[in-house]
Amino acid sequence: MLRDFFIGLSENQLLNTAAQKYGLQLGAQQVVAGTNIAEMMESVKELNQAGISCTIDNLGEFVFEKSEAIKAKEQILAVVDAIREQQADAHISLKPSQLGLDIDYDFCKQQIKEIVDKASKDDIFVNMDMENYPRLESTLRLLDELKENGYTNIGTVLQAYFHRALDDTRKYHDTRIRLVKGAYKESSDVAYQDKQAIDANYIQIIEEHLLHGTYTSIATHDDKIIDHVKQFVKAHDIPLDQFEFQMLYGFRKDLQLSLANEGYRFCTYVPFGEDWYGYFMRRLAERPQNMNLMVKQVFNKKTNTMIGLAAGAFVLGRLTKRRK
């Protein structure tokens, strides 16, 4: 129920708009690397110095006008420039919906093509984040058509909770793929609902792409999954430069550094921007215990967790009322 609650909040446009007025005051500064490129790049530099690569996401949702999508594209192009100018060990993550997928497919494709083309000249990889099920086919179509146009610096995300995940993993053996469990609320017609089933499918697609794919990004904070991957690659003599672990900015920093120090390739997903609300709520939905991060930021560390949760709900309620 708590997961559904946070997913519902992430899809609330009124709350999204209201939350932007508060900057990152509701605890999101723990998991969002600033609101502008300069702030974000400082975080990227620190991670690079620790031997950690980054994938950068210019946050943005609820895009219904072409002007908004074009603005998002220009911001991402500026990130490409910043990566090149500062010689950062980083690449791009983007959401097709932010670039106009819900407005017009061809318009969105041209937007993404501009980004991929510019990034290719600087040998920068571009990853298209996978969103909810209604956008899955169109996102894969974008990937296929960009690859047909000759671009090799483009990939996407496959989500383990979808029944079709293994078939998609097999289809994209020749593509750099990020593998995740999945963060949206989906129908049982298309997605597994049971955690054990999702975990089992996640392990299956990880093994499939590690054995037969090109480069695999394994995005998880799950200790059991991480330990399984370590044992699997050792048992099958899979080179450490054929895959990487990924985690979200602000989460499990000690483990991120530990994996990097052990010699594993590691990449941190670094989100930034004023439109942080939907991203933040989905992170709470994925692991409700992440709420502790918000509680610790807003309240004294000795504050009882239940009091913090109640206060957090009160703040969100206040935001809703102010918009009415």
Q: Has 222 been annotated as catalytic?
A: no
Q: Which among 135, 176, 178, 265 is annotated as catalytic?
A: 178
Q: Has 178 been annotated as catalytic?
A: yes
Q: Which among 129, 135, 176, 265 is annotated as catalytic?
A: 129
Task: Report the distance separating Cα 31 and Cα 23, nearest Å.
Answer: 13
DSSP states along 168-237 = HHHHTTTS-EEEE---S---TTTB--SHHHHHHHHHHHHHHHHHH-S-EEEE---HHHHHHHHHHHHHTT
Helix (H) or strand (E) holding 91: strand 90-94
| Whether the Cβ atoms of residue 218 and residue 228 lie closer than 8 Å to each other | no
Task: Report the distance separating Cα 210 and Cα 218, nearest Å.
Answer: 10
* Residue entry with tokens 């692991």: 287
Beta-bridge partner residues of 54: 90, 268
CB < 8 Å & 24+ apart, contacts of 308-314: 312/26, 312/27
The residues assigned a catalytic role are 129, 178
